[in-house]
Amino acid sequence: MTTMMSAALPATAVVHPVDPTGVMPRGLTDTDAERIAAAIAAARTESTRHVYAGVWSRWERWCAGRGVPVLPSDPLAVCAYLTEQAAAGRAMGTLDLICTVIRHVHLTCGLHNPADALAVRQVRRGLRRTYGSAPRRLARPLSVEEIRQIIHAIDRTTPIGIRDTAMILLGYASALRRSELVALTLSDIENKPAGIMLHIRRSKTDPEGHGAVVGVAHGQHAATDPVAALNAWREIRGAAPGPVFTRIWGSTISLQSLSGHVPARMLRARAEAAGLDGTRITAHSMRAGHATTAALAGVPLDRIAAQTRHKDLSVLVNRYIRPLEALATTSSKDLGL
C-alpha cells in the first residue's frame, strides 16, 4: 500500500495489498508522495477521521468474531451486521455511516464497494421501513429560562465557573456548533460597540474555509449577558494567543484547547446541578434552543438561518418551526374534551 492510500484510511484498517511494491510512478518523488498524502488526509477533518476509525474498528472486530474477511467484505456479511445493529437500536443514520465508511475503505483500496450490492440496498430499504429513518434522540432545545436557571447555579467566583458561564452564554447567543465554539481563538473575536463579531474560519458546512462572521449582541440582563461573560473569562484567561476556551487544571488556566466533547459533558453536568433533567441535553441543545426560542419570539426564518448558517431551510422548518406550530394549530384543543 502506498503512503497516499494509507493517508485516506482509518488507522486500524488492515489493507488488502493492492500495491504490494509501494513504488511511486516514474517521475514522482517521495516529496510528491508526502504532499499528496497530506492533501488526501486534509480532505476530511480530524473529527471525521476519528469517527471513521471508530466505525471501521467495530466492523473489524465483528468480522474477526464471525470469522469472515474484512477486506474485501462480503455483501451478505454487511447485511448481517446492519440487521444486527438495527436490532440493537442503532439509528438509520448510524447504519448509513457504517455503509459510508465501508465504501470509503474499499474504494480507497481499489476494491469493489460491497454496500453497492443489491442485497445490501434492499436490506437498508427494508430497515428504513421497519424501524423508520427519523432521528430517535434529538437534542432537547433549552429555553432562555432554563439557561438562566443553569447559569444561576454556577459558582462564578472560580475560574472554571467563569469559563463555563461564558461558554454556555456565548454558545447559546451565537448558535455556534460545538466544534466551532471550541475552535474559536482570541484573534477570531472582534469587539464592537453593540457587541462582538465572531469570525468562524471553518465549519461543518464550510470545510474549505471560506469563513463566516457571526454577531453576538450585548444581553439585556447583566447576569446573562454573553459579551460580559466572555469578557470576564478573557480577563482571567489572559491575552496570550490561542484558543478562547482552554483547559483548567485545578486552579491553573492552561492554553490547551478543549476537545469537541467537553461542551456537551459540561452543559449536561451544569444542567443536572441546576435541577434539570440531563436526558437529551447535548451541546446542540444551545444551538437548537437559540433557533427554537427565536422562532417563538417571531423572528423571521431568514434571520434565524443567517445566525445559524443553515443552508437548507427545510432543516429549520422541520426540526424547529413545525414542532412549535403543532400545539398552536392542533384542532384537538377545539374538541371540548
The last residue of one of the domains, among 131, 165, 199, is 131
In a domain, 241, yes or no: yes
Point out the domain boundary residue: 107, 131, 155.
131
Do the domain assignments include residue 138?
A: no
pLDDT reported for residue 274: 95
Give a yes or no: residue 137 inside a domain.
Answer: no
Give the pLDDT confidence score for residue 52 in this predicted structure.
87
Tell whether 110 and 44 lie within a shared domain.
yes
CATH of residue 59's domain is 1.10.150.130
Give the DSSP H or E segment for 212.
strand 212-217
Backbone angles phi, psi at 184, to 5 degrees: -60, 140
Please report the DSSP string for 74-116 in residue order.
Answer: PHHHHHHHHHHHHHTT--HHHHHHHHHHHHHHHHHTT---GGG
150 in the same domain as 107: no
- Which CATH number covers residue 291? 1.10.443.10
In a domain, 139, yes or no: no
For residue 215, the enclosing domain spans 144-329
Say which residue the cell 451544569 belongs to: 270
Task: Based on the fold, state whether residues 102 and 232 are members of the same structural domain.
Answer: no
Same-domain status, 121 and 148: no
What is the pLDDT, as a whole number, of residue 135? 54
Q: From 131, 159, 186, give the residue that closes a domain.
A: 131
Res 216: pLDDT: 93
Whether the pLDDT of residue 1 is over 50: the answer is no
Residue 334 lies in a domain: no
- pLDDT band for position 109 (cuts 50, 70, 90): confident
Same domain, 210 and 117: no
Q: In the 3-class helix/strand/coil scheme, how is 10-30 assigned residue by residue?
A: CCCCCCCCCCCCCCCCCCCCH
Residue 194 lies in a domain: yes
Same-domain pairing of 123 and 240: no
Confidence of residue 136 (pLDDT cuts 50, 70, 90): low
Answer yes or no: is 29 within a domain: yes
Tell me, what's the pLDDT at 166? Answer: 96
What is the SS3 assignment for 249? strand
Q: What pLDDT is stored for residue 305 in this prediction?
A: 85
- Long-range CB pairs of 95-103 (<8 Å, 24+ gap) are 95/124, 95/127, 96/124, 97/51, 97/55, 98/55, 98/59, 99/124, 101/10, 101/52, 101/55, 101/56, 101/59, 102/56, 102/59, 102/73, 102/78
Shared-domain flag, residues 218 and 309:
yes
Alpha helices for the chain (secondary structure H):
3-7, 30-41, 46-66, 75-87, 92-108, 118-131, 144-152, 159-174, 178-183, 226-237, 262-273, 284-296, 301-308, 313-316, 322-329
pLDDT at residue 47, rounded to an integer: 72
Of 289, 37, 222, residue with least CA distance to 281: 289
pLDDT in tens, 171-201: 999 999 988 999 999 999 999 999 999 998 8
Over residues 258-267, the pLDDT tens digits come to: 988 899 999 9
189 and 75 belong to one structural domain: no
Domain total of the chain: 2
- Flag the least confident range among 74-78, 143-147, 325-329: 325-329
Cβ distance 216 to 169 under 8 Å? no
Q: What is the pLDDT of residue 2?
A: 43
| Residue 337 is assigned to a structural domain of this protein | no
Judge if 162 and 125 occupy the same domain: no
Residues 66 and 155 in one domain: no
pLDDT bracket for residue 31 (50, 70, 90): confident
Distance CA 52, CA 54 (A): 5
Residues 185 and 308 in one domain: yes
Together in a domain, 123 and 152: no
- Is 16 a residue whose pLDDT tops 50? no
Q: The pTM is what? A: 0.67
* pLDDT attached to residue 143: 92
